[in-house]
Each structure stands twice: as C-alpha cells, then as structure tokens.
Amino acid sequence: MSGLADFLDEGNWNARCSLCNRKRKASELVKNWQGMWRCPEHNEPRQPQDFVRGIPDIQTPPWIQHPSDTGNSVGYLQIEESDTAIDLSELFTDTYTGVDGQLSTDGITTVIVTIVSTGAGTGSGGMGSQTNQVIIDSLTTGTGWPSGVTTVIINVGEGAFVLSYTNDTVGVAFTVNVFPGGSLETAGDELEITGGTDVNVLMEAAAEWTTVDEREAIVDLTVTVTGNVTHLIWGSPWAPTFPNLETFTLVNEATIFGRGGAGGGDDNDAFPDFAQDGAPGEDAITLSGNDIDIDNSAGNIWGGGGGGGFGGLADTAMGTNSSPSNTIDVFAIGGPGGGGAGGLTAAAGTREDINTLTGSCTKSYGRGTTELFDTTGSVSQAGYSATISQTGTNGTAGTSAGPGSGGAPALATGSNSLVCYGGAGGDGGAFGAAGSAGAAATSTSAAPYNANDVFTPGSGGAAGKAIALGGGSVTWIAGNNSTQVKGAVS
C-alpha cells in the first residue's frame, strides 16, 4: 500500500525515522548528535552535562625554598630538571653547604624532596611526551646523609616522572608520595647479593625495603648475585610482605654452590656391620615453590656432591679347631669415604678406635693409622700367625675445588694363606654427582678350621640438585648447560 512518501522525486529516496519508524523522503530527515537520521520534530540536542569537565586542583606549589634558619628540624630539596641519575645525598650536601664550605645541617631530622616541573614547554622520555615534564631515570637516597637525618619524604608532583627509585641508606625511613600529574614507575626493584652462606632472598629483600610504600611499589624484582654463595634460599611466602610482586629474575654473575656431603665413617655401636653411608650433597638453590627467570650466562649453579661410603670390614678366623685357645681372629677395617665437592669443606669419614681384645681369643684390628693397632701389629697362637702388612690411610675432604678421595683400607696377611683385606673408602661425588660406595672387603684362609666373613660397605651419598623447585618453575634466559649447571633441576 502506498503512503505519503511514495511519490517520484528525482534525486531523493525514501527512509525511515530512527525513533518513530515513519517513512519520509530522505531530504526531510535530519542527522542527530549520535549519527542517527530522524524526523525534525523527533531530533533532540545532546545533554549539556556531557561537556562538563572537572577543574584540576593542583596543590603542589610552583616553587619552594628551604628556610635560611638551618637549625630548623626540616630540610627541603627541590628537583626541577630531568636527569639520568640523581643522588639525593649529594644534592642535600650541595644545598646546605655555605659559602664558607661548611655543611650546616644542625637540627635537621627530616628532609622533604619535591620533584616538580615549573617551566613551560614539551619534554620527552621513557614515559612519553607531556608538557612541563621532568624525567628522573634513576633516583637514589644515597649514603651521605648526616647522622641526625632519620626521615626522607619524596613528593613526586605535577609533570614529574621517576622511573626507578632505590633506598641505599641504612637507618633512614622514607616515604614516597605521588601527587596528581606525577608518576612513579618502579621502586627499588634490584637487589644485589655479594656472597654468603644460606642466603635467604626474601629476608634480604625485607631488610632492603622496610616501609609499606616501598614494598607495595615493587612489581618486578631482579636479584643479582655478584659473589659466591653456598646455598641460596628463595624464601616463602612473599605475598604478605610484597603484595604486588609478580615476577622474579635471577641474574647470576658468580657461583652458587651446594654443600658437599661428608664421607662415611665407622660406627662402633654397630660393630661389626658398622660401615656408614656417605652424606647427601646439598642443593645449590632452594626455590621454595616460586617461579623465576634465570640469566646464568656469567655464572655457575652447582649442586653439592655426595659423600663416599665407608669401606667394608673383613673378618678372618683360622686354627686347628673352633676352640678359642686354638684360633686367631683378625679384623681388617675399610677406609673412610671422601667428602663430596661443595661450596664449603665436606669432611672425610672418621675412624673410631677399636682396642685389641684380650683373653682366650686374641684379635688384631687393622686401622687407618699405626697407633690404632695393638702394640705389635701382629698376633700368633697355636702355630698360626697374622701381621698387619698395610695400614689404612685417611680419606680427604671435599672442597669447592673438587671432591675428596676415599681412604685406603688395612691389610692383614699370615700363615695358611690368610688374607684379610678391608674395602677402600668410596670417593666423594663431583658437583651435582652422587658419592661412590665403599668397596667390598676380602677374607680368605686355609686351615683345618677357618671362618671368613665380610660385612656390607657404606653406600655413596645422593647428589645435591642445582635447583630444588619445590613446586616452582624456572625459565632459562641463558647459561643452562652441563658446564654451568651441575645437578638436577627438579
């Protein structure tokens, strides 16, 4: 059915109102502020409140100067120009040094630092372009504050952008205030560890950044190790102390060791089956369940080696019969295990002194040093005899230079083909490797009566890991190879 708009009008066409849907010629419709076409009577103006804008309330003063009375308890500093690095302690010294060259800071306990742009123009830098811009790439409190200054207040004002901030001053509390128009991109996100033993990164970070404002400002933490560390502990949990922390990066420029395991010794309380196992090596890094990125391009991460096991014990008895008055019984003791390689000295295993038994059954004990034998080092009875022909040697300790070696065992020889030979101590493990087990003992003889027994040597200690994840994960940036990373990452 035709309507009022259904007639020929060259160069014109029919269209409908976006509000009432009435058909009209296109030339009769008007375009509203939203881009829709409507009947003239249905068009409405844009709400004037859409154009209302708040008036900036800039409370930062355009300039300040410190009072001439230097005895005031508050000192003032102002920064108005961009710089790559500003040491506030140097600026403080320059500001409060008089024409006579003397530093006048008597009575000052608090320093207020205002960073604000006061000039006109356009600046540019890491935060983009903005009128009246002051960009500080690196801001540090420095280490030259007078002993009386205990508080530093940093006010980042209009047009000021601080890209990196660190507090290097021990005993000085500081607060950072960011006002409208200012920006603080990062705050103290680099922690240096110069070396140590059992270093806990969380505790180091908590000691470096002591205030809530500092800790809340840290989002990405980079930990740089510049000196050798024996056992680096990442620590957990971080969230209560550093609530906004999202990423960790470890830059290792030194060697992070695990301790080596001690070598196995002998335990008299368990005689004669008394050879002890080597101790396990220690992990170099305990990740505590955290996820970290690691740049190991200039460093090493080496788990501790396991300790070597104590050598087996040999027992040889022989004679005309089993009567104690007609036999000799000889014991030759194995060598102690060597210590595993590690960041600290890992001791070799030790030997207990077993005194010669006396009575109807005489026994001779081979030991690692001659004073541990009986006075003659030999025994004879009922026509049979044995002599300690080789004394054992002590093992060596493991160090950061490498693993220790296992000690040599004692050897007794005698009549009727008697050979009583303890097992050698196992060598300590290299970095990230298990220690070797102690060697088995040898016991032989030929006589109307003989009894030859050997006892189990000690096992080698397990290898320490390069990184114990503990539920965390590692993303390698560089330096993940068998030379720079020794031990498992698991």
Supply φ then ψ for residue 137, to 5 degrees: -65, -40
Say whether both 259 and 115 belong to one domain.
Answer: no
- Is 56 part of any domain? no
- Residue 455 is predicted with a pLDDT of 85
Say whether both 326 and 454 belong to one domain.
Answer: yes
Average pLDDT, whole number, for the chain?
80
Say whether both 91 and 239 belong to one domain.
Answer: no
| pLDDT surpassing 60 at residue 91 | yes
- Is 245 part of any domain? yes
Say whether both 153 and 202 belong to one domain.
Answer: no
Say whether both 102 and 247 belong to one domain.
Answer: no
The residue from 135, 158, 184 where one domain ends is: 184
The residue from 154, 184, 214 where one domain ends is: 184
Q: What is the arithmetic mean of pLDDT over 36-43?
A: 91
| pLDDT surpassing 50 at residue 373 | no
- Is 287 part of any domain? yes
Say whether both 276 and 316 belong to one domain.
Answer: yes
Say whether both 3 and 84 belong to one domain.
Answer: no
pLDDT by residue (tens digit) across 70-87? Answer: 456 888 888 888 887 888
Least confident of 184-198, 400-414, 415-429: 184-198
Say whether both 127 and 222 belong to one domain.
Answer: no
Highest mean pLDDT out of 157-166, 210-219, 241-250, 384-393: 241-250
Percent of the chain at pLDDT > 90 equals 31
- Is 66 part of any domain? no
Distance from chain centroid for Cα 403 = 24
The residue from 166, 184, 202 where one domain ends is: 184
Residue 13 banded pLDDT, cuts 50, 70, 90? very high
- Is 189 part of any domain? no
- Residue 356 is predicted with a pLDDT of 38
- Is 61 part of any domain? no
| pLDDT surpassing 60 at residue 363 | no
| pLDDT surpassing 90 at residue 405 | yes
Residue 304 banded pLDDT, cuts 50, 70, 90? very high
- Is 481 part of any domain? yes
Say whether both 290 and 388 belong to one domain.
Answer: yes
- Residue 361 is predicted with a pLDDT of 29
Say whether both 339 and 363 belong to one domain.
Answer: yes
Q: What is the arithmetic mean of pLDDT over 315-323?
A: 78
- Residue 122 is predicted with a pLDDT of 40
- Residue 109 is predicted with a pLDDT of 84
- Is 14 part of any domain? yes
| pLDDT surpassing 70 at residue 133 | yes
Say whether both 159 and 306 belong to one domain.
Answer: no
- Residue 84 is predicted with a pLDDT of 78
- Residue 430 is predicted with a pLDDT of 96
Residue 366 banded pLDDT, cuts 50, 70, 90? very low
Say whether both 219 and 326 belong to one domain.
Answer: yes
- Residue 401 is predicted with a pLDDT of 93
Identify the domain containing residue 79 by its residue range: 74-184
What domain count does the chain have? 3
